[in-house]
Structure 1
Amino acid sequence: MPSLTQKALAKVPEPLRPFVVQHRSLVKFLVVGGSCFLLTLVINYGLKLTVCQNKPVVALTIATAIATVFSYVLNRQWSFRSEGSHKEAIPFFVVSALAVVVNDLPLLISRYVFDLHTPHVSKFTQEVSDFLSGMIIGTLVAMGFRYWAMKRFVFTTRADSASGSSAAEPAARVP
């Protein structure tokens, strides 16, 4: 019976399969990131619409911090398949704390440098600006930073060999 990974890979167009197999940790990282993005979005707007109505940066920071814990578990167990103990937890959370700051910067700049908040702009403009600066630009910049920093400083021991194959996921057995 084919694994979930093999089933998913079978749905990838043939010309893209070698790229996906070669860069599987990046693909898995992006899947985890997409899931965490959705989690951040739901928590952020849940907080912004309730207890953090006038504190969008606090809402985004809390949402990002919660999604970071979820990200740690998924990245450790799936994206990077780290071996050994939880020795990477401290560097992971240091990198993640820096990434939260990187994620918050565009929102801070749009709100408090460019004054894109009420009463200077309409509520609609404020919300669009918050979404674009905090959820889109901040997330993209922080994602790039996280991927680079995680590979460089956190998940340095991986199950992948130099050839890019993994004992748990043989690339050659994809239908």
Structure 2
Amino acid sequence: MAVVESVLSLAPERLRSVLIKHRELLKFAIVGGTTFVVDNGIWYLLKLTVLEPKPTTAKAIAIIVATIVSYVLNREWSFRTRGGRERHHEAALFFLISGFAVVLNLIPLLVSRYVFDLEQPHVSLLVQEAADFASGSIIGMLLAMFFRFWAFRKWVFPDELGGRRRGRL
């Protein structure tokens, strides 16, 4: 029994039918949670060490690493029954869309730091870090996540190409 099926078997029947109906979204959310940990782990490691004066650069690097992890997990798990394009074409679309999502993810952090001046010495270290987390890891990531889910389903892993891949499972 697959991991998702074993987890779904623990859910109440009413909830289970909703989760099964939205299985792809559930898998996408699990991948998102995994890449959230990768993204924030790398971001804080970089911004508290070698890239301390450059938090936006640290965030961009963290997002790029998390995006690579996201491609592998989404292609092989979340959207494995979709798509069907040549891998290089699919990957190019994935990373193009993800590049746009990186920009969406960085906008709230840039606004927080450089428009609202929520950085030291204008505010305390605690306020700066809370603002960075809220803008870069919550608001920015949510904007990028909604955009990615929509764009991946529409262009990278479209359902009309999925028939060829489902036959190969």
TM-score by length of 2: 0.90
Tell me what 1:158 maps to.
Answer: 162
Task: Summarize the Cα distance change of 1:159–1:80 in structure 2 as closer, same or farther, 3 Å threshold.
Answer: farther
Tell me what 1:83 maps to.
Answer: 84
Q: What is the CA distance between 1:168 and its match in structure 2?
A: 9.4
Which blocks of at least 5 consecutive residues in structure 2 are unaligned? none
Distance in 2 separating the partners of 1:168 and 1:11: 29
Tell me what 2:59 maps to.
Answer: 60
CA deviation digits over 1:74-125, x for unaligned, max 9? 0001101143531311110000000000000000000000111111111111
CA deviation digits over 1:35-74, x for unaligned, max 9? 0000001000000111110111011100000000000000
SS of match in other structure, 2:120: coil
Tell me what 2:114 maps to.
Answer: 112
Tell me what 1:93 maps to.
Answer: 95
Distance in 1 separating the partners of 2:105 and 2:127: 20
Tell me what 1:45 maps to.
Answer: 44
Distance in 2 separating the partners of 1:148 and 1:47: 30
Tell me what 1:70 maps to.
Answer: 69
- Asked if 1:138 is matched to 2:137, the reply is no
SS of match in other structure, 2:42: helix
Contact conserved, 1:80 with 1:158, CA < 8 A, in 2? no
Tell me what 1:25 maps to.
Answer: 24
Task: Summarize the Cα distance change of 1:31–1:159 in structure 2 as closer, same or farther, 3 Å threshold.
Answer: farther
Q: Which moved more, 1:121-130 or 1:2-11?
A: 2-11
- Asked if 1:129 is matched to 2:151, the reply is no
TM-score by length of 1: 0.87
Count of aligned pairs: 164
Q: What is the CA distance between 1:140 and its match in structure 2?
A: 0.7
Distance in 2 separating the partners of 1:9 and 1:168: 25
Distance in 2 separating the partners of 1:6 and 1:25: 13
SS of match in other structure, 2:162: coil
Q: What is the CA distance between 1:153 and its match in structure 2?
A: 1.2
Amino acid at match of 2:44: Y
Distance in 1 separating the partners of 2:66 and 2:2: 27
Task: Summarize the Cα distance change of 1:138–1:150 in structure 2 as closer, same or farther, 3 Å threshold.
Answer: same
